[in-house]
Each structure stands twice: as structure tokens, then as C-alpha cells.
Amino acid sequence: MREIRFEDMHLFARVADLGSLSAVARERDAPVSQVSRTLARIEKACGARLLHRSTHGLALTAEGQTFLDYCRRITGTLDELEGEFASHSGQPAGWVRVACSAVVAEHLLIPSLDSLQQQYPLLRVELLVDDRLADMVQGGIDIAIRTGPPQTDTVVARPLGTLARGLYATPGYLQAHGLPEHPDDLHRHRLITNTTATFLNHWPFQLDGGTHVFAAEGHWRSGSTAITARMALQGLGIARLATLVAEPLVRQGLLAPVLAQCVELQPSPLHAITLTRRHRLPKIQACIDHWARCFADQEHSV
């Protein structure tokens, strides 16, 4: 057992999480053969088979589950130790993997990275940008930045602010096609909708003291919120966009609000979500604290 290294435990835990040697190899930018040899060495040191290998994938043996439980405890303790040393040195360090939507990445995180580096020069950030929700365990994700409440009690969520959405189009489009005066007028317009987050295609309005929802059918569609914004900027039609993105463009004269007198912005809480066992790590706390300040500044400027 003395031949097993701490890094071996991290690797075994990732194999158990992903259920695939090739997935772990891609994550580590290493040959599959290297991962396979490491697993063989771990099993030899343990004197037991830890994984069943079949055409359907990998499955833990009883011994493998026991070994994984110990790996989780030991690597968790190492994370805590890393945090203790980092807190004493005052210098959070290491890689932080962050999952977020394209809108949050482009308009909140990327503009903040330079100031984050100046404050914490030993931190490194990897952005995993996708509008779809990510599995934090399988993705090896330290922080996920998402709207809405967390769906499980295995995570810790810290509020960063709110994300509201309104309707926008370019002044050129509105000049050519007319400015809608009532939600029913939208039937005569070219609309830009989202194929990934379909709930964004239910456009809410306050009319006659109640909420009216317009089911938008896109003349143009995209699975990316960032591409949806780009389509609107091209003058292709009316889109529902985050105010974080759109309002600065309105001030520049590039976009104009549509039906602002009755559109319901429906602000949603934006959270930084971390796994319970890792949320106290200084490198994670440093990033979240920094982005909370940046988001507050953004909200004040919108």
C-alpha cells in the first residue's frame, strides 16, 4: 500500500466518477495506456481487483468501493490541508474549474480575470462554457455559476446577484419593421429564440393587472445565449436577452428595448455553486468573493 501515491487516489476517484479510462485520459491530456498502467499498479499494491472492465464500461468491485471511500476521505483531508496552508500564507493558489453560461463568461467572468490575477497571482482559472447544466462531480468542477436554486443538498450556493431579461432589437430593425405596441404585435415580427433553454422562449408581460405569457416561435434559433445576442445585434429580429448584456448596448445605441412598458423582467437569483466538501478552499472562496464584487458593480451600472 505504501506504493500508492496521493495523485493515484485522485486518479482513481476520477475514474470512478467518469466511468471511463479514456475520459480521464482526455481530462489529464495523457495517453489511455498511462491511466491503465496506473490503475494496474494501484490494484497490484492493494492486492485486489478494484474495477470490473466490460464492453459496457467500468464498475467498482466491493473492494473498489472501499478503496474509493478511503480515497475520498484522504483527498478531502488533503484539500483541507491545502486550504489551511493557503489561508496562513494569504496566497490562494492553483487551478479553479468554473462552469458557466456563455453570457456570464463573456460579460462577467472574462472582464474580471485580469483584476483577479492582480489580486491573486497564483490562481489559475479554467472556464467550461456551456448553457447546459453541468455535472459538478463528473466534470471535476469547482464552481458552477447558474440561475435558480440548487437542485441538491450536496452543494453550497452563494448568491451573487440577479439576472433579469428583457426584449431588445436594433434600432435599424425596428425602423424597418415597426415598433411593437402590444405583445400580440410580435406575431408579425422576426423573433430569435433559444433551442437549449426553451423556458427562455416564454416571454412574460404584465397586462391588465396579470401576467400574460407569449410563446415565442423563432424565425431564427440558436442553442447559445451568446449567439442569440449576436443575432439580435445583426438586426435579424427581436430577442429576449439578459439586461446584463443588453443595457450597456442600449446606452451605446446598438440595441433598443422592445415593449419595455409591459415586459416582465423576472429577475432570477444568480448563484455560485460549490460542492460541500470543497467550498471552504481559499482558492474557491477567493474567486467567489471577487466575482460577487464584480457582479455588484455590474448591477449598479446597468
| Residue 262 domain-assigned (yes or no) | no
Question: Does residue 105 share a domain with residue 79?
Answer: no
CA dist 45 and 3 (Å) reads 6
pLDDT at 223: 87
Boundary-marking domain end, from 58, 86, 114: 86
> 16 and 74: one domain?
yes
Domain membership flag for residue 239:
yes
Residue 1 resides in a domain: no
Are residues 65 and 109 located together in one domain of the fold? no
Residue 293 lies in a domain: yes
Residues 239 and 123 in one domain: no
Place of cell 435579424: 236
Both 39 and 186 in one domain: the answer is: no
- Summarize pLDDT for 169-193 with one digit per residue, the tens: 999 999 999 999 999 999 999 999 9
Shared domain for 31 and 172, answered yes or no, is no
Residues 169 and 253 in one domain: yes
Residue 153 shares a structural domain with residue 170: no
Are 202 and 220 part of one and the same domain? yes
The CATH number of the domain where 109 resides is what?
A: 3.40.190.10
Alpha carbons within 13 angstroms on the beta-carbon side of residue 121 total 1
Domain containing residue 181: 165-257
Q: Are residues 144 and 273 in the same domain?
A: yes
Beta bridge partners of 193: 221
Q: Give the chain's domain count.
A: 3
Does 220 share its domain with 241? yes
Q: Which residue from 22, 95, 111, 100 is spatially nearest to 58, judged by alpha carbons?
A: 22
Model pLDDT, residue 70: 84
Last residue of a domain, one of 86, 115, 132: 86
- Indicate whether 152 and 169 sit together in one domain: no
Residue 167, CA distances (Å) to 193, 202, 230, 246 in order: 11, 12, 14, 9
| CATH number, position 234 | 3.40.190.290
The CATH number of residue 28's host domain is: 1.10.10.10
Compute the distance between CA of residue 137 and CA of residue 106 in angstroms, rounded to an integer. Answer: 24
Query: Mean pLDDT, 10 residues at a time, over the chain (302 residues)?
Result: 78 85 84 91 90 82 90 74 59 87 88 94 89 75 82 80 93 96 96 89 92 94 90 97 91 96 91 83 91 78 50
Q: Do the domain assignments include residue 263?
A: no
Structural domain contains residue 170: yes
Distance CA 177, CA 173 (A): 6
Question: What residues contact residue 79 under an 8 Å CB cut-off, 6+ apart?
Answer: 277, 278, 281
